[in-house]
Amino acid sequence: MKISIKLGMWFFFCILVIEIFSMFFLHNNLVHSQVHQELGSLQARGNSHRSVLEINSDSATLHHIGLMESHTDTEVVITNTTGDVLLSSSKLNQSMRTILNKPIDNLPRNGRVLQSDWQKEQYIATVTAFNKGGEKAGYVYMFKNTDEVQKLISQLNKHFLLASVLILLFMIITIFFLSKALTKPLISMKEATKKLSKGDFSVTLPPPSRDELGELAQSIQTLANDLNYLKQERNEFLASISHELRTPLTYIKGYADIAKRKELAESDRDKYLDIIQEEADHVSRLLKELFDLAKLDQNTFSISKQKVNLSDFLQSILEKVLPAFNEKKILFKLECSRNLTFDLDPIRFEQVLLNLLDNNLKYSKENTCVHIKVFEGNEAIHMVITDQGIGIPEKDLPHIFDRLYRVDKSRSRATGGFGLGLAIVKELVEAHGGEISAESEAGKGTCFKIFLNK
């Protein structure tokens, strides 16, 4: 069943129950107070007759009272204490007699209601006693035909029915629009996720509202954008890989063809076979590094952190690379306070620094300097590695952390990297909960900044 219908029905039944209860309550109260009022005024009328009778109860007064009541919708019957009728404003009928025969005891001064059932009986009635010379002399019975009350109440019922129907109608219309408005974003999100699951990531949801549904829409939009980006990246990545593999394979095939020639001198053949071996090594190294990166990407590798003294740690790494830097006459400057410690995975982090230093070495000219500065900020440890190398052009800077991205696209023998070093560095730094960024100026040098959150 559609969610809008489900929601609408829930609303409808809940409000219907509330409406029925409140209408019932209101109706009951109104009817009750109406009947109460009728009985009150009937009793008051009886009491005023009593007051007159207590002043004077001769036949002229009785006649006068009878005359007064004959022009109203109420009736009066006056009896003496033994039950003989002294006056009746109309002819007594059976239901009046039944009421007159009811026993009366402990009657309060202001009388009492004798018959209040307006639904079943023909009359509602009250009784009041009147005295003469301090002695009880008789009773004043007041009657009112219930037809009047019933007519009044049926009028009231009609009003109630009309109001109920109107409210119901209004409710249905409101619920219809409300449930549509509530479920519209849900439905568009459902459509969007359906599209996503079919592999179509070009999803655009209407601008999100500032509530939970809006947040959900926002998340779906972000997911769609991310998937779209990943899809593009994967395509580009596959294109770069096939490009990367094509070059060495072309070499291998070409040199293999030449090496097969019978008339070739043995020394030339060896030279070609060496090239083939070199290229094959290159391919297998590339595949190994890609595989390592794929493992990093799946987050299946674990980082085992331990407290490391950064100064000692950096020193030990520098010692490993120093010979290569010395050979190229590149100077090192390390700035790190002696007692700075941090929790990191020494093996993984050594890989980070070796990759960065490898770049420094590869992309710097002779007689330059590489400066490593480590210091403690308020929230993070900062590592800044600056070189005076060839720098990175501005347009390439945003891409250098992408896989297989190299500024110099030709795979020169001198620097022949894969363009994977920085991608691995980024994965590892992020696995440590840190961030890495680069600044550079072509021809002047490059600066890599690592933030490791404490």
Site residues, ligand ATP (CB under 6 A): 355, 359-360, 362-363, 387, 389-392, 400, 405-408, 417-423, 446
Distances in Å between the Cα of 79 and the Cα atoms of 48, 70, 88, 106, 254 are: 16, 17, 9, 17, 138
CB of 318 to Mg ion, least distance (A): 17
CA distance 67 to 76: 10
CB of 421 to ligand ATP, least distance (A): 2
Measured torsion, CA atoms of residues 22, 23, 24, 28, in degrees rounded to the nearest 10: 110
Residue 315: other Cβ atoms inside 10 A:
12
Q: How far is the CB of 373 from ligand ATP (least distance, A)?
A: 15
Among 386, 400, 395, smallest CA distance to 357 is for 386
Which range binds Mg ion by CB under 5 A, 170-178, 183-191, 308-316, 416-424?
A: 416-424
Contacted entry of ligand ATP, Mg ion, none for residue 363, CB cut-off 5 to 8 Å set by kind: ligand ATP
Stretch that binds Mg ion, among 186-194, 258-266, 355-363, 374-382 (CB under 5 A): 355-363
Select the binding partner of residue 400 from Mg ion, ligand ATP, none (C-beta < 5 to 8 A, by kind).
ligand ATP
- Kindly tell me which of 171 and 318 has the beta carbon lying closer to ligand ATP: 318
Longest Cα–Cα distance in the chain = 162
- Report the nearest approach of ligand ATP to the CB of residue 308 (Å): 24
Residue 128 makes contact with Mg ion by CB under 5 A: no
The DSSP secondary structure of 284-317, one letter per residue, reads HHHHHHHHHHHHHHTT-S----EEEEHHHHHHHH
Question: Is the CB of 124 or the CB of 422 nearer to ligand ATP?
Answer: 422
Q: Which two tokens stand for residue 166?
A: 């109107």
Residue 221 or 359: which CB sits closer to ligand ATP? Answer: 359
Tokens matching residue 129 = 């006693």
Residue with smaller CB distance to Mg ion, 359 or 440: 359
Among the listed ranges 49-57, 157-165, 372-380, 409-417, the one in contact with Mg ion (CB under 5 A) is 409-417
Residue in 408, 429, 313, 296 with CA at minimum distance from that of residue 362: 408
Q: Are strands 331-336 and 306-309 parallel, antiparallel or unpaired?
A: unpaired
3-state DSSP percent of the chain in helix, strand and coil, to 5 = 55, 20, 25
Q: Which is nearer to ligand ATP, 78 or 423 (CB)?
A: 423
Minimum CB separation of residue 396 from ligand ATP in Å reads 7
Interface residue with Mg ion among 8, 248, 421, 445 (CB under 5 A) is 421
Minimum Å distance from CB 214 to ligand ATP? 40
Name every residue whose Cβ is closer than 8 Å to that of residue 298 and which is 6 or more positions away in sequence. Answer: none
For Mg ion, the binding residue among 359, 364, 440, 446 (CB under 5 A) is 359
In the complex with Mg ion, the residue whose CB is nearer, 195 or 411, is 411
Binding-site ranges for Mg ion (CB under 5 A): 359, 417, 421
